Amino acid sequence: MAVINCPSCKKKISDKAKSCEHCQLDLTELDAEKIASLKRVSAVEKSQQLMTHSFIAMLLFCGGFLFLYWQDAQPGTWQYIVSITSTILGFILYLVTRVRLLLTKRNRA
């Protein structure tokens, strides 16, 4: 008996199992084509999720930056701290998300 990863939820299951004990996926009807399409779907979902993250990061960055600019926030005020934090967080989050997106695409190729 070998342990394989469920093609749907990626959790470890027995290769003799007829269905996944975690996500109830029916493994008896799975063939190579279905596994490939499940993998494609999860890759697309992953990159869509990352796209959403990078969009949120952009909003954080732009929002923080514009707020700082429009409010003419002075250093030491809460507005200044909030907008600087938001700008920096957004920037870092954006970079991290872009790198993760690149890695996801490279893994797929």
- CB of 8 or CB of 87, closer to Zn ion: 8
Residues 20-59 that bind Zn ion (CB under 5 A): 20, 22-23, 25
Alpha-carbon distance of 107 to 19, in angstroms, equals 27
Listed in sequence order, the residues at least 6 apart from 54 whose beta carbon sits closer than 8 Å to its beta carbon are 93, 94, 97, 98, 101
- CB of 27 or CB of 57, closer to Zn ion: 27
Binding-residue total with Zn ion (CB under 5 A): 7
8 near Zn ion, rule: CB under 5 A: yes
Alpha-carbon distance of 89 to 92, in angstroms, equals 5
- CB of 20 or CB of 60, closer to Zn ion: 20
C-alpha neighbours within 13 Å on the C-beta side of residue 77: 9
Listed ranges 7-15, 40-48, 52-60, 89-97: which one lies at the site for Zn ion (CB under 5 A):
7-15
